[in-house]
Amino acid sequence: MEEKKGGPAALTGRTGTGVVLVLLSATGFAAKGILAKMAYQEGVDPSTVLDLRMLSVLPVYLAGVAWFGRMRPESRPGPGRADFWKIVLLGLLGFDFSAWLDFEGLSLIGAGLERLVLFLYPTFVVFLSALLGRRRVGLREILSSLLAWAGLFVVTAGNPPGAAGEREGVLLVIGSGLFYALYLVGVERVVRRVDPLYLTSLVMVAATLALLLQSLATGHFRPATVHRHALFLIAAMGVFSTAIPTFFMTMGIAAIGASRAALLSFFGPVITLLMAGMLLGERMTFRDSVGALLILVGVGLVALGGKREEIRKNG
């Protein structure tokens, strides 16, 4: 006998699609730090790399606003005034402030360390959701978060006394993770009312325009310093580590929720560490490996706790 439309089979298919989308998104985002570090090695400053990255995919997002705005289903109307300003704010939090802090921090630390630090954002997601009254935080999640942050301490504790630049880079990327967590918590509610692809396009257009205005106002946009090879790296970052992953992540969150998406994203740091070793020559010591494992296990346990909470609420 056929399953009813919207029954268990449909739910399983939707979940499977969401899992694939989040995994592909994590892979794309994993390559971002590698491509950015390569562009830095070509003499391009972080602000210019970030601005050109966003500019390279701005036409995609503008087309997305037009296309998905016209094609959105009746069940997902366009955003009202309140939702529109929420979307603008989400763009500023998740892909303006967060991206700027991340790229500045990445100029001071290795791509592998940057991805590990940024990966701590699920601990922020869980506690921000608790502060907003959307879920409870248990002892298991508190201990798991402490384990993850202990891993970061292990990775950075052995730094020489003069490594102030690395400490500053870590702090900048922690700030980036906090802003990205704010974006994820905010978008989880809005995406229930607005088509996810249309939402992503609006968010990224708002973030790109804000970044360009900031850089032009401060004089940090220097496209004349970018030659052909660096431009190719930045364009690849725009397409494969920005446009495609952001669409896939938003669609994945809509299908499986933010907590489960955070759990699946643990593949990202592993891929980044592997690529950083192969392409950038970054080497991990035994202490680094222990710290990275603690971060991955701690964040994985936090995300598992979020998944159980979703099942409890929906079950």
Whether residue 299 lies inside any domain: the answer is no
pLDDT given for residue 150 in this prediction? 95
How confident is the model over 133-155, as a mean pLDDT?
Answer: 87
68: CB partners within 8 A, 6+ apart: 195, 197, 198, 201
Phi/psi of residue 44, each to 5°?
Answer: -95, 135
Domain count, the chain: 1
Rg (CA), the chain: 19
Q: What does the pLDDT average to over 85-91?
A: 83
Report residue 152 as tokens: 């970061």
Q: Is 291 inside a domain boundary?
A: no
Of the segments 7-16, 74-83, 145-154, 294-303, which one has the largest average pLDDT value?
Answer: 145-154
Rounded to whole angstroms, how far apart are CA atoms 261 and 102? 20
- Give me the mean pLDDT over the 286-293 stretch: 92
Distance CA 58, CA 247 (A): 13
Give residue-wise pLDDT tens across range 98-141: 999 999 999 999 999 999 999 898 889 888 888 877 677 788 88
What's the whole-number average pLDDT of the chain?
83
pLDDT attached to residue 146: 94
Does residue 245 lie in a domain region?
Answer: yes
Q: Considering the domain boundaries, does residue 266 fall inside one?
A: no
Work out the number of other CB atoms within 10 angstroms of the CB of residue 41: 11
Checking phi first, is residue 76 left (phi over 0); if not, alpha (psi -120 to 50) or beta? beta
Average pLDDT estimate for 294-307 = 80
- Region 240-253 average pLDDT: 86
Confidence of residue 7 (pLDDT cuts 50, 70, 90): low
Looking at residue 179, its pLDDT comes to 92
Q: Looking at the domain assignment, is residue 17 inside a domain?
A: yes
Q: Is the pLDDT of residue 311 over 50?
A: no
pLDDT of residue 41: 93
Q: Does residue 69 form part of some domain?
A: yes
Mean pLDDT value of segment 148-164: 78
CA separation for the pair 84, 69 (Å, rounded):
13
Whole-structure pTM value? 0.82
Cα→Cα distances 266→58, 227, 237, Å = 28, 34, 20
Better pLDDT: 149 or 73: 149
Q: 62: Cβ–Cβ under 8 A, 6 or more apart, which residues?
A: 201, 205
132 is a domain residue: no
Output 89 or 14, whichever has higher pLDDT: 89
Read off the DSSP letter of residue 23: H
Query: Residue 214's domain spans which residues?
Result: 8-125+160-256
The predicted structure's pLDDT at residue 257 = 78
**Least-confidence region, from 135-144, 153-162, 201-210:** 153-162
Residue 279 lies in a domain: no
**b/e per residue, 252-263, with b = 16+ CB within 10 A?**
bbbbbbbbbbbb
